[in-house]
């Protein structure tokens, strides 16, 4: 088997808290492509690559968490899993729970998750609780709930469940033969940036980590929680990240930084990645590229932007922000010629 046909936990079992013989819940996640980005490379004067986490089975990096979290839950005898989510964790936990044959409930901010994520979560048969509150509130409530009820919490809030995400750093080091100067990554609850740093340090690597938040949801940049986070990038509409300290440590130790971007800057990068590089990611993912374009490389030569989720997740935002045109056309040749060539 090639690496891409090996489940994540099997590929990196020696570096993950799973023993041979443990139950494995997998949808063949991980081993995602690393794509050269010639247009971006030209623009910033460095070798830019895109880590395509949207190529995971449910379309986001959260599958790395869920293969670990749901496998562990099944190992512990859980019959149900639950999470708070801005959408991708919900879709992923629902898929892995379906695969495991256990039930799944997700708590999401009512009306604030992208349509594709909602569709996935419902298709996998999960119970969706649309909360009259934001993600931060959902996370507080779900943590409290699981203290008194026997339901496994699959958010990446404990040490063990974050392990799966660090494997993306292993893959990058393998694909780039250790030669990576800087990583650009969107930051919401800050589990992912924490995990990449853990993965890099475990392998003795130390690229600079540059994290990016949306201006309206930038607690780590401001230095205090944001009570009413707002951004078009719904996946990172988070005002009080669970991994606050760890994320700051990662960025300080790697001599990187955490900075913010306007929704306009995020959407400009979102369109450019799609129309310039041919890769359709979701708005939150475009924050990595927007950060690279706004703040530059600081001398780095080989850089990676993490595209955390697939563009199809959020068709509404795509239909409202794109470089394409739609021409309504009568069904006759004259009108068609005019529409195509005019």
Residue 88 within binding range of ligand AN7, rule CB under 6 A = yes
Q: Phi first, then psi: what are they for 144, rounded to 5°?
A: -65, -45
Residue 68 within binding range of ligand AN7, rule CB under 6 A = no
Instruction: Give the closest residue to 207 by CA, choosing from 68, 29, 65, 49.
Output: 49
**Helix (H) and strand (E) counts in the chain:** 15, 10
Instruction: Give the closest residue to 21 by CA, choosing from 74, 94, 96, 90.
Output: 74
Q: Report the nearest approach of ligand AN7 to the CB of residue 149 (Å).
A: 20
Residue 81 within binding range of ligand AN7, rule CB under 6 A = no
Token pair of 279 as six digits: 């890769």
Q: Report the nearest approach of ligand AN7 to the CB of residue 47 (Å).
A: 23
Residues 6+ apart with CB under 8 A from 144: none
Choose the stretch contacting ligand AN7; rule: CB under 6 A; options: 176-184, 223-231, 270-278, 281-289: 281-289
Residue 317 within binding range of ligand AN7, rule CB under 6 A = no
Residue 186 within binding range of ligand AN7, rule CB under 6 A = yes
**DSSP letter string, 27-38:** SS-----EEE-H
Residue 86 within binding range of ligand AN7, rule CB under 6 A = yes
Strands 152-153 and 182-186: unpaired
CA distance 328 to 342: 13
97, 89 contact by CB (below 8 A): no
28: number of Cβ within 10 Å: 14
Residue 308 within binding range of ligand AN7, rule CB under 6 A = yes
Of positions 56, 58, 85, 134, contacts ligand AN7 by CB under 6 A? 85
Q: Report the nearest approach of ligand AN7 to the CB of residue 20 (Å).
A: 29
Of positions 32, 56, 58, 60, contacts ligand AN7 by CB under 6 A? 60
Instruction: Give the closest residue to 307 by CA, choosing from 50, 55, 106, 94.
Output: 50
Residue 282 within binding range of ligand AN7, rule CB under 6 A = yes
CA distance 169 to 21: 25
Q: Report the nearest approach of ligand AN7 to the CB of residue 186 (Å).
A: 4
Minimum CB distance to ligand AN7 smaller for 6 or for 257:
257
CA distance 84 to 106: 6
- Which helix (DSSP H) or strand (DSSP E) does residue 296 occupy? none
Token pair of 296 as six digits: 């530059």
134-173 residues near ligand AN7, rule: CB under 6 A: none
Residue 55 within binding range of ligand AN7, rule CB under 6 A = no
Q: Report the nearest approach of ligand AN7 to the CB of residue 87 (Å).
A: 5
Q: Report the nearest approach of ligand AN7 to the CB of residue 143 (Å).
A: 14
Minimum CB distance to ligand AN7 smaller for 47 or for 195:
195
Minimum CB distance to ligand AN7 smaller for 54 or for 207:
54
189-208 residues near ligand AN7, rule: CB under 6 A: 189-193
Residue 87 within binding range of ligand AN7, rule CB under 6 A = yes
Token pair of 207 as six digits: 């690229």
Rule CB under 6 A: which residues touch ligand AN7?
60, 62, 85-89, 186-193, 235-236, 282, 284-285, 308-309
């Amino acid at each position: 088997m090639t690496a891409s046909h090996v489940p994540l936990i099997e590929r990196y079992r020696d570096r993950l808290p799973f023993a041979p013989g443990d139950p494995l819940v997998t949808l063949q996640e991980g081993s995602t492509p690393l794509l050269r980005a010639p247009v971006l490379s030209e623009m910033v004067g460095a070798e830019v690559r895109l880590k395509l986490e949207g190529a995971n089975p449910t379309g986001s990096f959260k599958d790395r968490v869920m293969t670990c979290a749901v496998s562990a839950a099944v190992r512990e005898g859980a019959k149900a899993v639950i999470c708070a989510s801005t959408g991708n964790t919900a879709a992923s936990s629902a898929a892995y729970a379906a695969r495991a044959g256990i039930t799944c409930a997700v708590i999401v901010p009512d009306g604030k998750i992208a349509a594709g994520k909602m569709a996935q979560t419902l298709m996998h048969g999960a119970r969706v609780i649309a909360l009259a509150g934001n993600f931060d509130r959902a996370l507080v409530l779900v943590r409290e709930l699981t203290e008194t009820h026997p339901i496994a919490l699959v958010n990446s809030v404990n040490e063990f469940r974050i392990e799966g995400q660090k494997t993306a750093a292993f893959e990058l080091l393998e694909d780039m033969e250790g030669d990576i100067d800087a990583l650009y990554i969107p930051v919401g609850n800050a589990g992912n940036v924490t995990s990449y740093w853990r993965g890099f340090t475990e392998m003795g690597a130390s690229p600079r980590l540059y994290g990016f938040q949306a201006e309206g949801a930038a607690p780590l940049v401001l230095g205090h929680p944001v009570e009413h986070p707002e951004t078009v990038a719904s996946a990172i509409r988070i005002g009080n990240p669970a991994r606050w300290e760890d994320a700051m440590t990662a960025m300080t130790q790697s001599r990187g930084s955490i900075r913010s971007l306007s929704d306009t800057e995020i959407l400009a990068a979102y369109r450019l990645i799609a129309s310039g590089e041919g890769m359709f990611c979701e708005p939150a993912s475009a924050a990595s590229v927007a950060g690279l374009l706004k703040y530059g490389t600081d001398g780095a030569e080989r850089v990676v932007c993490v595209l955390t989720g697939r563009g199809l997740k959020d068709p509404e935002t795509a239909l409202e922000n794109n470089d394409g045109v739609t021409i309504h056309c009568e069904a006759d040749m004259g009108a068609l010629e005019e529409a195509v060539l005019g």
